[in-house]
Structure 1
Amino acid sequence: MADELLDRIIAGEFPPGASVPGELELSSRHEVSRMTVREAMKTLEAQRILSVERGRGTFVNPVNRWGSLDAVLRAASEGTNDASAAIQLIELRRMLETGACELAAGRMADSDIQTLRAHVEKMRLAHERNDLAAFVEADLAFHDLILQASDNVFVAVLFEPLHRVLEKRRTETSKVPDIQEHAIGHHQNIADALASRDPHRARDAMDAHMQQTLDDLKTYVLGDGTA
């Protein structure tokens, strides 16, 4: 029941600030007991998805107040406010991946550098063949290798739940040939920076890639001429 109600929230039926129906209406709509509805509401309240105001009702909180990572990821993947979620996802990647790249510069093996270059070549070939799935696969593998090579267990664990959302977003943005070309160039720069073993150069290269990714998202996908 909690999942079904969350689905309705994510779908935009109950946007942030909206009140959700009472127990009687929800139990009738979902064909469950009022006790089941009550437990579902308590679950969503505990996850800070809903807030109860005595005498007024139960209201949907903004996503940035939610306390469930799984719910936030579902909202980012399936929700209606795609623009905001897409930008915030890049902001999160920028914070984590620039640091991971800096760490990886001094920790990754020579064989990892060779593998990174192989991923870039796969991206280039996929671009030439117009093979979107292969391009996205190589792109994700490139970044995953850097995260693993940072040799920081917390980085890898934090990114693992994001994989499904990242794959969906990459597929959306990589449909644009110009974005693919930009990505190939930046991935090559990142591989070169990591090969130099210069942590600051590696961090700057990844940061430049994140900025280009954000600019491309606004220009080609969101249609924001301010990028």
Structure 2
Amino acid sequence: MARKSLVSVVADDLLDQIIRGSLAIDAGLPSEAEIGDTHEVSRMTVREAMKTLQAMGVVRVVSGTGSFVNPVARWTSLDAVLRVAAMGTSDLDVAVQLVEVRRMFETGAAALAASRCTEQDLQSLATQLDLMSDAHLRGDVDSFVRADLAFHDVILHASGNVILGVLFEPLTRVMAERRAETSSVIEIQTHAIVQHQGVLDALRAGDPESSRKAMDSHMDQTLADLRHYVLHSRAN
């Protein structure tokens, strides 16, 4: 295996341990020798893996002392931060921040889509909402999640802003991974259906401000549900 691949394997494994909480924030990492023995790689490979994590802001190296895990707020890699958000383990604030970022993107997308979406877009939104309702009644979480994500994807593309789509794509991947947990709660599904109907009604009216407010209301409900049904239960 090429050295570059080995470096990636070691760096990814260490990052996974940090995200899972096996290596806590501000905790010291094992020595180069220990990491090398664990992964059966040379110290040079370990050193390069540590440089990768340093460049991502995940770890800091203190001369003469060792390497330590940085708080998530100091990470500079979007992929690494989104992996924390997807895991939803060590830093509950990241889950809340994900909704905050979604609010910035999605309220703007809804406002743009109000004046740009076609009849076909509106029909697609209605279809996805029907699929959500049907999946809710059948207790099919996977189908509910797919329809939920597809509903938001239609709005994103209906906004007509290709840059918005590119910027939002990494968040879409994380949302897909997190939705299985949140959408398994029946009350969250019920709230989501009501909020999505409100967004669709506003878009049908073609009113950008009403559409923005409807999506903002949806994000408020999402955040409230996240705190009440998911984060509160984890904290206990």
TM-score normalised per structure 1: 0.93
1:68 aligns with 2:84: no
Aligned residue number for residue 20 of structure 1: 29
Q: Is the 8 A contact 2:20 2:89 kept in 1?
A: yes
1:156 aligns with 2:179: no
Aligned residue number for residue 193 of structure 2: 184
- The correspondence for 2:15, drawn from 3, 6, 14, is 6
Name the SS of the counterpart of 1:223 in structure 2. helix
CA distance in 2, matches of 1:11, 1:176: 23
Aligned residue number for residue 38 of structure 2: 29
1:116 aligns with 2:107: no
Q: How far off is 1:61 after superposition?
A: 1.0
CA distance in 2, matches of 1:220, 1:43: 37
Aligned residue number for residue 60 of structure 2: 51
Name the SS of the counterpart of 1:3 in structure 2. helix
The one-character-per-residue Cα deviations of 1:117-144 (angstroms, maximum 9, x if unpaired) are 1111111111112111111111100001
Q: How far off is 1:175 after superposition?
A: 1.2
Letter of the aligned partner of 2:216 in structure 1? D
Paired residues in the alignment total: 224
The one-character-per-residue Cα deviations of 1:189-215 (angstroms, maximum 9, x if unpaired) are 100101111111000000000000111
Letter of the aligned partner of 1:148 in structure 2? H
Aligned residue number for residue 7 of structure 2: none
Listed as ranges, the gaps of 5+ residues in structure 2 are: 1-9
- Deviant stretches of 4+, over 4 Å: none
CA distance in 1, matches of 2:231, 2:52: 34
Q: Is the 8 A contact 2:20 2:90 kept in 1?
A: no
CA distance in 2, matches of 1:91, 1:158: 15
Q: Is the 8 A contact 1:12 1:79 kept in 2?
A: no
Name the SS of the counterpart of 2:89 in structure 1. coil
Q: Is the 8 A contact 2:17 2:23 kept in 1?
A: yes
- The correspondence for 1:174, drawn from 176, 179, 183, is 183
Aligned residue number for residue 194 of structure 1: 203
Q: How far off is 1:82 after superposition?
A: 5.8
The one-character-per-residue Cα deviations of 1:160-198 (angstroms, maximum 9, x if unpaired) are 122332112212111111111111111011001011111
Over aligned residues, Cα RMSD in angstroms? 1.5
Aligned residue number for residue 4 of structure 2: none
Name the SS of the counterpart of 1:17 in structure 2. coil
Rate the CA distance shift 1:123–1:175 in 2: closer, same or farther, 3 A: same
Q: Is the 8 A contact 1:18 1:60 kept in 2?
A: yes
Rate the CA distance shift 1:20–1:63 in 2: closer, same or farther, 3 A: same
Aligned-residue sequence identity (percent) comes to: 57
CA distance in 1, matches of 2:44, 2:105: 42
Letter of the aligned partner of 1:123 in structure 2? M
Name the SS of the counterpart of 1:222 in structure 2. helix
